[in-house]
């Protein structure tokens, strides 16, 4: 799946919506996909009906439609972020054990998650900052991390304080080990795995600049 | 055998201090708010609550927590924008918390209902939530050993019951109801309506009546789920 | 539940149908009951609609009705013995994993099984004669043996060759350990358990005669 | 993604020698006879068959056995009044047999579909079927450790599918279909009819389309189940 690296230096970094669009392009038609809470839900806007993608929400539904508006809003029909949504023709409801059995059993093709940190070999930290006064809350994050055939992460490559979020080893508490296969950021797209991080594409930055800013061994695709 | 109760107070009668109470719902969808209110009136204390969340706003589970009846919460996601009651109790050390990954929570409840003694689960391996747990590599993949969560009582909200306790749910309000109904000694269900046996097609029953001990009709109120 | 022993010596042993009726009398109204293949199915004839008993068949149904006849026969609706049956109002269908989860999880009140041998402390042997040329076939026997809150066995007390089928230790391959709570036979009804066999009732035989014919320590109820 | 096939031959194409094939049905109820006939034509050999029984009469699974395509059968109840094909092969040592308690068979299939690595099951403890297996006492009760049964292919019969693969079944013909559909890499389903998406109420779907790879319409024939 690795093509030669594409450096897009004649433009700026991707915006959130552009990252979402870039992810949507990598989701094959006919895939079953779970989009995590927060930014990953933006990916849905770029998966038109023609994409043939079926959305799963872990609170018990396949065939989830767009967010509900006006009279469509039904308190009994929400996504995992508790946002009212709609159902599409061909949808199915099921209970929580069945929903997570579907996930844990490896039946979802792709899951898109946000992250605090991702390691070059695919470890994920996205549930807990490790702050001593934080109330721990994991939700479905750990289930999603190990459940889908492919886990994509969507995040900015650097935190607001300039710290890189792609790291050698996660310092935040882990969500899952070696589970992330692709990392989509504002500055670059990476393939992750046992061999480390491979840069597939850059945006508003050259491969060499990127390598200089990250404390992670990189390879070009 | 299923009893159709006249009131939510009758439906929750007899819950003992120290009980483990399973409470359905994901956020407000499927949350048996009226049964929780009845538990507050009923007075049981020192409860362990198993639910996906730890209460929203000041009603329902949050009100039960605020009333000081809960010793311990087992859930996947206590922290929400409106979980101030739980947050306050937790930060002041007045409530215990066990955080369980959401799918593991569902599967542990299912295991309790299905007579499974324990199961090897891949979720959480290598994370803080697996610390101290038995692990094993099976066929090249690492797993954590997880145990059943059994309830003394389950409080569930369903859409319609028939008089023999068969249940159907509505959309994503189904969530934890069906597994919790199997995992408790006494399962209490609030429904929008009770039908006659045969009114629910046997092909579409989600929870068979064998899992349902008490049913009470609570018409959906405008704003009840807001 | 143990009342003083009743010796019915003024009559002969119970027939199959009378054993079935005797069992039916011990099944409380409102019970969920599974009747094993063969003779135990006779118990259903003595559980009228007024008994309020719900029958489970492990191939995926609660609310099973009587055997189907004529136009009622539907190849998609059978009991565990593959005999066409009917559905009653309030029935429910479910798949095999759910059906046996219901059983294994202890949700059934009573299960009635046949047996080759039962031990005084409740071990059950009913799936295999141990004959070296027999093809092993267990079906749901082991699941039923450990699944219900109470397991009742229905059998003749002696085999055709005169051998007692209530024994100190089963010699046939076991189906389940210490799982039978009551044993209903043509000659007597027993409660079984860790304390051994207690005789509740006899038919066409006195307690003393019974004790003399069995190589099992007995107690009178 | 679900493909609606034009023929049973298309539906079973590509099954490889040595595959593990899960076959639904309890006796003839839910038995995908037409798919099995297609497998006989397709020619795969050295198969492991997982099914509740080991064939009835001379058709369906019995015909597959008679054609010499099966190396091993995993089932709960091979011996039936009309299982002469299996009986003959077994007695002459030409087929291997693993007998599994029926509920354990269903749960091992579910475990494969649900990503469970192994589970402690109370069924069969102290019996010959537990010999050589790991046992453990948990909370005072003894259990046997059981492992998932994963299929390369599942052959299932359902009542109706929609074009995205959602399935509903009919009465007790449901039996092993839903769990086998989750447990195989490729799930092939013969149905009486295919409907449009939305024709099956999302509340009553038993097997969601995510588990269904190929669907083929085989109208129920008079006598097909006799």
Any domain includes B58: yes
Do residue A147 and residue B78 have CB atoms under 8 angstroms apart? Answer: no
Any domain includes A161: yes
Q: Where residue C35 sits, what CATH number does that domain have?
A: 3.40.1080.10
pLDDT in the model for residue D5: 98
Do residue A147 and residue D115 have CB atoms under 8 angstroms apart? Answer: yes
Domain range enclosing B186:
3-117+148-217
**ipTM of the complex in this document:** 0.97
| Residue C58 annotated in active site | yes
Q: Which of residues 38-77 of B touch A (CB under 8 A)?
A: 52, 76-77
C-alpha dist (Å) from residue D92 to B132, D86, D95: 52, 10, 8
Any domain includes D30: yes
Rounded to 10 degrees, what is the CA torsion of C29, B113, D101, D33?
Answer: 90
Domain range enclosing C203:
6-220
**Which residues make Cβ contacts (< 8 Å) with residue C147, sequence separation at least 6?**
B115, C34, C100, C103, C104, C105, C106, C108, C111, D103, D123
Do residue B114 and residue C94 have CB atoms under 8 angstroms apart? Answer: no
How many other CB atoms are there within 10 angstroms of residue D75's CB atom? 25
C56 touches chain B (CB under 8 A): yes
pLDDT under 50 in chain D at which residues? 222-226
Q: With a cut of 80, say whether residue A1 has pLDDT above it.
A: no
Asked whether A209 and A14 are in contact (CB, 8 A), the reply is no
Any domain includes A1: no
Q: What tokens appear for B144 in the block?
A: 């954590």
Q: With a cut of 80, say whether residue C49 has pLDDT above it.
A: no
Any domain includes B136: no
Share of chain D above pLDDT 90, in %: 93
Closest CA to B105 of B81, B132, B124, B125: B124
Report the residue from C104, C128, C137 with minimal CB separation from D103.
Answer: C104
pTM of the model as a whole: 0.97
Rounded to 10 degrees, what is the CA torsion of C99, C102, C106, C112?
Answer: -30
Do residue A75 and residue B28 have CB atoms under 8 angstroms apart? Answer: yes
**Beta-bridge mates of residue A195:** none
Cα nearest neighbour of C140 on chain D: D102
Do residue A90 and residue D197 have CB atoms under 8 angstroms apart? Answer: yes
Q: Model confidence over A85-141: pLDDT tens digits?
A: 999 999 999 999 999 999 999 999 999 999 999 999 999 999 998 888 889 999 999
Tell me how close the Cα of D218 comes to any Cα of chain C, in angstroms. 16
**Beta-bridge mates of residue B143:** B136
Q: Which chains touch C (3 or more CB pairs under 8 A)?
A: B, D
Q: Classify the C-alpha dihedral C107-C108-C110-C111 as positive or negative.
A: negative
Asked whether C218 and C197 are in contact (CB, 8 A), the reply is yes
Tell me the catalytic residues of A. Answer: 58
C-alpha dist (Å) from residue D163 to B131, D3, D180, D212: 45, 8, 20, 10
Report the residue from C32, C94, C104 with minimal CB separation from B115.
Answer: C104
Q: Which of residues 161-220 of B touch A (CB under 8 A)?
A: 169-179, 206
The domain tally of chain C equals: 1
> How does the average pLDDT of chain C come out, rounded?
95
Instruction: List the pLDDT tens digit at each of the 226 positions of chain B.
Output: 899 999 999 999 999 999 999 999 998 999 999 999 999 999 999 999 999 999 989 999 999 999 999 999 999 999 888 999 999 999 999 999 999 999 999 999 999 999 999 999 999 999 999 999 999 999 999 999 999 999 999 999 999 999 999 999 999 999 999 999 999 999 999 999 999 999 999 999 999 999 999 999 998 764 444 3
More confident residue, C50 or C159: C159
The domain tally of chain D equals: 1
DSSP per-residue letters across A64-118: EEEEP-GGG--TT-B-TTS-BEEEEEEEEE--HHHHHHHHHTT--SEEEE--SEE
pLDDT in the model for residue C27: 97
Q: With a cut of 80, say whether residue A182 has pLDDT above it.
A: yes
Q: Where residue B185 sits, what CATH number does that domain have?
A: 3.40.1080.10
Report the residue from A96, A146, A147 with minimal CB separation from B179.
Answer: A96
Any domain includes B130: no
Asked whether D62 and D75 are in contact (CB, 8 A), the reply is no
pLDDT in the model for residue D221: 64
Angle at A118 between CA A114 and CA A119, to 5 degrees: 165
Residue pointed to by tokens 């599974």: C34
Angle at C181 between CA C207 and CA C83, to 5 degrees: 110
Q: Which of residues 131-170 of C touch B (CB under 8 A)?
A: 147
pLDDT in the model for residue B225: 42
B129 touches chain C (CB under 8 A): no
Q: What tokens appear for D203 in the block?
A: 């509340």
Q: Strand A32-35 and strand A54-57: pairing?
A: parallel
Cα nearest neighbour of D118 on chain B: B120
Asked whether C101 and B216 are in contact (CB, 8 A), the reply is no
Cα nearest neighbour of D28 on chain C: C75
In angstroms and rounded to an integer, the radius of gyration of the C-alpha atoms of chain B is 17
* Helices D102-114 + A96-104 axis angle, to 10: 70
Q: With a cut of 90, say whether residue C99 has pLDDT above it.
A: yes
Any domain includes C1: no
Helix (H, G, I), strand (E, B) or coil at A20: helix
Asked whether C135 and C124 are in contact (CB, 8 A), the reply is no
Q: Strand D141-146 and strand D118-121: pairing?
A: antiparallel
C121 touches chain B (CB under 8 A): no
Give the lowest-confidence range in A45-59, A62-76, B186-200, D171-185. Answer: A45-59
B221 touches chain A (CB under 8 A): no
Which candidate in C60, C81, C96 is best for mutational testing of the D interface (most D CBs within 10 A)?
C96
Asked whether A179 and A125 are in contact (CB, 8 A), the reply is no
Do residue C143 and residue D169 have CB atoms under 8 angstroms apart? Answer: no
Any domain includes B177: yes
Which candidate in A74, A90, A95, A98 is best for mutational testing of the D interface (most D CBs within 10 A)?
A90
pLDDT in the model for residue B226: 36
Q: List CB contacts (< 8 A) between C106 and chain B.
A: 115
Any domain includes B224: no
Q: With a cut of 70, say whether residue A3 has pLDDT above it.
A: no
Asked whether B95 and B86 are in contact (CB, 8 A), the reply is yes
Q: Classify the C-alpha dihedral A170-A174-A180-A184 as positive or negative.
A: negative
Any domain includes B139: no
Any domain includes B77: yes
* Residues found in chain C: 221
């Amino acid at each position: 799946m690795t093509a030669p690296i594409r450096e897009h230096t004649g433009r700026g970094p991707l915006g959130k919506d552009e990252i979402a669009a870039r992810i949507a392009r990598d989701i094959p038609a006919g895939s079953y996909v779970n989009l995590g809470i927060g930014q990953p839900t933006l990916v849905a806007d770029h998966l038109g009906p023609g994409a043939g993608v079926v959305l799963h929400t872990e609170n018990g539904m396949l065939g989830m439609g767009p967010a509900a508006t006006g009279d469509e809003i039904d308190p009994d029909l929400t996504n995992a972020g508790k946002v009212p949504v709609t159902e599409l023709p061909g949808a199915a409801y099921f209970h929580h054990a069945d929903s997570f059995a579907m996930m844990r059993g490896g039946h979802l093709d792709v899951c898109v998650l946000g992250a605090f940190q991702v390691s070059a070999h695919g470890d994920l930290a996205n549930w807990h900052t490790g702050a001593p006064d934080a109330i721990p809350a994991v939700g479905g994050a750990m289930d999603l991390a190990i459940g889908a055939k492919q886990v994509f992460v969507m995040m900015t490559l650097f935190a607001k304080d300039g710290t890189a979020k792609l790291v050698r080893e996660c310092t935040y508490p882990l969500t899952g080990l070696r589970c992330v296969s692709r990392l989509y950021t504002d500055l670059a797209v990476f393939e992750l795995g046992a061999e480390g991080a491979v840069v597939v594409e850059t945006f508003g930055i050259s491969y060499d600049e990127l390598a200089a800013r990250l404390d992670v061994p990189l390879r070009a695709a | 055998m299923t009893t159709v109760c006249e009131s939510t107070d009758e439906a929750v009668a007899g819950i003992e201090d120290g009980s483990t109470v399973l409470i359905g719902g994901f956020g407000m969808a499927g949350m048996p708010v009226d049964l929780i209110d009845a538990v507050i009136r009923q007075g049981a204390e020192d409860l362990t609550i198993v639910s996906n969340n730890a209460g929203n706003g000041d009603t329902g589970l949050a009100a039960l927590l605020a009333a000081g009846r809960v010793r311990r919460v087992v859930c996947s996601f206590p922290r929400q924008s409106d979980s101030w009651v739980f947050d306050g109790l937790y930060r002041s050390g007045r409530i215990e918390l066990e955080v369980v990954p959401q799918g593991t929570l569902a599967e542990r409840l299912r295991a309790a209902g299905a007579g499974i003694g324990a199961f090897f689960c891949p979720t959480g391996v290598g994370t803080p939530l697996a610390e101290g747990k038995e692990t094993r590599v099976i066929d090249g993949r690492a797993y954590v050993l997880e145990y059943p969560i059994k309830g003394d009582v389950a409080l569930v909200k369903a859409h319609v019951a028939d008089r023999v306790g068969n249940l159907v749910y509505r959309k994503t309000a189904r969530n934890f109801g069906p597994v919790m109904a199997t995992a408790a000694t006494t399962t209490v269900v609030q429904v929008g309506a009770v039908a006659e046996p045969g009114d629910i097609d046997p092909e579409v029953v989600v929870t068979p009546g064998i899992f349902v001990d008490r049913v009470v009709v609570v018409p959906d109120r405008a704003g009840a789920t807001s």
